[in-house]
Amino acid sequence: NAGVTQTPKFQVLKTGQSMTLQCAQDMNHNSMYWYRQDPGMGLRLIYYSASEGTTDKGEVPNGYNVSRLNKREFSLRLESAAPSQTSVYFCASSENRQETQYFGPGTRLLVL
Amino acid sequence: DAKTTQPTSMDCAEGRAANLPCNHSTISGNEYVYWYRQIHSQGPQYIIHGLKNNETNEMASLIITEDRKSSTLILPHATLRDTAVYYCIVRVASGSARQLTFGSGTQLTVLP
């Protein structure tokens, strides 16, 4: 039981490049989330998926898109990366929308 | 979600109990108290949560005052691996709440 896994662990992009961050959970959770964490700051919600087939915007969705591929997987895409998107990205899942959230190890992204 | 106040930092000797306080004087009747921690560079880790009664699990104990305006997280025998930022979060467990709002937390340093 791996919990929540994220790939890649680290990534360096040039401004304007695109990439997809992958997240998978093996806990049969319905809800999944993408957060970003900037130095010295708390986590901010980018997008979430309350259940398979649904996605909703969080606090800071601009510049991102998401796909809930199936119940296990929830990906985050940066179509045209900007330096302001340099951050650590965490994926989380919960049994339902209001339940305890379990986090992955994070993806560290640097946009030059 | 109600606002929480925590000390910025605390030290604790290895093997001793670590008691981390949290004030949440504006908590509503349907709001739970959650505790998470974040060890440097890792994803946040769920510790414990409660509504009114004291709670205990394999990681910690949560003591909530009778008026629910404050709580204390207790790590009974702190180890060096417990050095982390500890976040007290108050949120509803039903309804539309979906984002975990992490404040600045308490940096706990366990000293050898």
| Secondary structure string (H, E, C) spanning A80-103 | CCCHHHCEEEEEEEECCCCCCCEE
Mean pLDDT score across all residues of chain B: 90
| Residues of chain B contacting A90 with CB distance shorter than 8 Å | 43-44
The phi and psi torsions of B81 (rounded to 5 degrees) equal -70, -10
Q: What radius of gyration, in Å, describes the C-alpha atoms of chain A? A: 13
Contact A99 B93 (CB under 8 A): yes
Residues of B in contact with A31 (CB under 8 A): 98
- Whether B92 shows a pLDDT value over 60: the answer reads yes
| pLDDT at B94 exceeding the cut of 70 | no
Report mean pLDDT in 10-residue bins for chain A, 112 residues: 91 97 95 90 88 90 95 96 96 83 95 96
What is the pairing mode between strands A10-13 and A107-111? parallel
Q: What pLDDT sits at residue B22?
A: 96
A-chain CB neighbours of B87 within 8 Å are 42
Percent of the residues in chain B that have a pLDDT greater than 90, as a whole number: 74
CA distance A30 to chain B (A): 13
Question: What is the DSSP secondary structure assignment for residue B11, as one 8-state letter?
Answer: E
Binning pLDDT at 50, 70 and 90, where does residue B3 land? confident
Sheet holding B106-111, edge to edge: B9-13, B106-111, B84-92, B31-38, B45-50
Q: Chain B residues with CB-CB distance to A under 8 A?
A: 34, 41-46, 49, 87, 91-95, 97-104
Q: A28 with A77: CB under 8 angstroms?
A: no
pLDDT at A42: 80
pLDDT of B97 reads 46
Tell me what pLDDT residue A39 has. 82
Residue in chain B closest to A98 (alpha carbons) equals: B93
Mean pLDDT of B11-27: 95
Contact call for B43 and A59, based on CB within 8 A: no
How sure is the predictor about B102, in pLDDT bands with cuts at 50, 70 and 90? confident
Identify the residue whose tokens are 């909703």: A56
Residue B45 to chain A, least CA–CA distance (Å):
7
Q: Positive or negative CA dihedral for B19, B82, B98, A94?
A: negative
Partner-chain contact A43 B98, CB within 8 Å: no
Which element (helix H / strand E) includes B71? strand B70-75
Task: Quickly state the pLDDT bin for B104 (edges 50, 70, 90).
Answer: confident
